[in-house]
Chain A
């Protein structure tokens, strides 16, 4: 029986099911135990699984990641939480030099998950709103997933935990309680590296993920009334990319808008644009366009944050212009 869950409930359920299934799975992070986590993802976990599997750590991200890696090397399956994705910067050396490279250097698997509550739109200001994917996209050895729906969140946290090597799980804070949808009750895994066509269309492809999926789907509904048929591809997995689904869609529509909430310059949009240009050039009927947050730190003031972020209207307007090209 499928049930209706919020995005955050789906993550909790995925974690809980994996912990029940596999005793080697355990959680560690700041305030995740007695307090239930800053966002309450792990509320009730310490009661069910005990403090040896739901570990409250010191405020030291490098230590959290390092400890998780050590446990992974000896065969445990740790899921470490950064309270905010921004704080992963404090563990940067552990992540990019140790976690990402260890398997390549030694052949020993590092089956760990790093949960990164990401993104803005929740008035968190410059230190609590980052979308960190670009920090890590250029680090071979890290898989990066970024679900936009409760079902994908649950399916991907399960896939991440079962993956034999490190996965960064980017969970979007705005989506936590703004998105509510059906989640299959069964043990459904969403394979890492598979994109999903969230809305089929014929005129323009939107390549996006996380909040971008919400904006794109809303904009697509508006544009459907203007007889512009938009296809929305939810990447779900940023590393590796599902190039097959991406290119098939671009070849079908001939026009592409790349949309992400992370800031524009050096963002994954540039990578996607290059992919499309290299492999679908002869199928393009318009320049590849990008929409992203503007190149500043995330502002705190709500009107500034609204200006900073893309939104449904901005996306609709970019799509109209692309349709008219």
Chain B
């Protein structure tokens, strides 16, 4: 007989609690591993939580609609199927089984608060250029210390500049090797709700039916409201708008539409073309793929591309993780997968977290030009307007081209007009010069 505690999973690092929406099992029910035990609701997504083990549900510790802190034990499952439901939780079991079990992302998150052990000499596999090794040798920096120098180069490489600024800080006494810097806060600060709860009764007097309807804001709406207000208070938003000639992309899309759909099982849209250009541009302008903490810029070495999707529950931004590793087809599949799962409500919390840059396509609603709000803590968002045929002048002749307006909203704390404009222009050029001969 072995009792396994089921805990409220921490499905993403910014989450501190979850609400139990529905238990799928009663005490005494048998449950198979991976069978749904309960549904929980968090910031944006309702998730089904599978059972970590097969057995008999012996205890459900909270009622439905209760909000519970993460890692709190919420149920107990006895892996011995003959166990009596009323039996009190048995004391010990094998450590692996007795340990609180939660889905994989939670393990990752719960591991984060443990401060990293002082690094002595790990073979990190980081590459050091001949010059960096040379400077380190001259400055008397051993390999163990070099391993701790933060790198801002490609793939986190320690560049000459990184090492020189490290050496400068070291000489000024700002760095003492051996004392690890404070680990970054494992959890992003929880966003305080800035919406005051008001009583429907009082409001009903002020706004009587039937002239007025009073609607409760959904969780998603409340969160959207908080995020948007926080973003405009945090980032000085500046917009750059560029005209994009999408004719070649359109030609490539049309030409490949049939074969693509036959092969992939879904339609070829403009979105992967834009995603592809955005990812390429972000690689060239890593400062746009960043966030701000205090007086530091955090440059992300990975690209998690958020794509705003209007769902029936409201605005959701699922994220393509490690988009920098994906080619065009990979991006197309990821977009389709996220769009499908958004529609079918199969998104996991991990799917909507950790974005480093966001794409919003309001063009689908016919909007020509938008002024999107940055999805914090990111520093820029790209809005794409409707693609329409227009007469344009090319080489002093008037041609019919498929034209759209792209808006980049950027955080002028760290992104200036030169960087924002160059970044957007790079996206424009990539799309305008899209090789429509290439096989898709």
**B134 in contact with A324 (CB, 8 Å):** no
Question: Please, how many angstroms separate the alpha-carbon atoms of A317 and B433 in the complex?
Answer: 15
| Number of chain B residues whose Cβ lies closer than 8 Å to a Cβ of chain A | 20
**10 shortest A-B CB distances, which residue pairs?**
A285-B131, A285-B160, A225-B418, A285-B129, A282-B130, A254-B131, A325-B154, A282-B134, A254-B160, A320-B284
B409-425, CB < 8 A from A: 418-419, 422
Cβ of B284: which chain A residues have Cβ within 8 Å of it? 317, 320-321, 324
Number of A-B residue pairs with CB-CB distance less than 8 Å in the complex they form: 42
Q: A43 interface residue, CB < 8 Å from B?
A: no
B130 closest partner in A (C-beta): A282
Binding site for A on B (CB under 8 A): 129-134, 153-154, 157, 159-160, 283-286, 418-419, 422, 426, 429
Binding site for B on A (CB under 8 A): 222, 225-226, 254, 281-286, 313, 317, 320-321, 324-325
A255 closest partner in B (C-beta): B160
Cβ of A286: which chain B residues have Cβ within 8 Å of it? 129
Question: Please, how many angstroms separate the alpha-carbon atoms of A313 and B430 in the complex?
Answer: 12
Candidates B130, B154, B419; contact of A281 at CB < 8 Å: B130
CB distance from B356 to the nearest CB of A (A): 16
Cβ of A320: which chain B residues have Cβ within 8 Å of it? 284-285
**B157 in contact with A283 (CB, 8 Å):** no
Cβ of B160: which chain A residues have Cβ within 8 Å of it? 254, 285
- The CB with the most chain B CB atoms within 10 A, among A222, A226, A317, is that of A226
CB distance from B414 to the nearest CB of A (A): 12
Cβ of A282: which chain B residues have Cβ within 8 Å of it? 130-131, 133-134
B419 closest partner in A (C-beta): A226
B425 closest partner in A (C-beta): A313
Question: Please, how many angstroms separate the alpha-carbon atoms of A325 and B159 in the complex?
Answer: 7
CB distance from B231 to the nearest CB of A (A): 25
Cβ of B131: which chain A residues have Cβ within 8 Å of it? 254, 282-285
**B153 in contact with A324 (CB, 8 Å):** yes
Cβ of A254: which chain B residues have Cβ within 8 Å of it? 129, 131, 160
A281 closest partner in B (C-beta): B130
- Known contacts A225-B418, A324-B284: A283-B130 contact under CB 8 Å: yes
Question: Please, how many angstroms separate the alpha-carbon atoms of A317 and B159 in the complex?
Answer: 19
Question: Please, how many angstroms separate the alpha-carbon atoms of A225 and B287 in the complex?
Answer: 14
| 13 pairs, CB–CB < 8 Å, chain A vs chain B | A226-B418, A226-B419, A226-B422, A283-B130, A283-B131, A283-B134, A285-B129, A313-B429, A317-B284, A320-B285, A324-B283, A325-B157, A325-B159
A203 closest partner in B (C-beta): B161
CB distance from B211 to the nearest CB of A (A): 57
CB distance from B416 to the nearest CB of A (A): 9
B157 closest partner in A (C-beta): A325
Cβ of B283: which chain A residues have Cβ within 8 Å of it? 321, 324
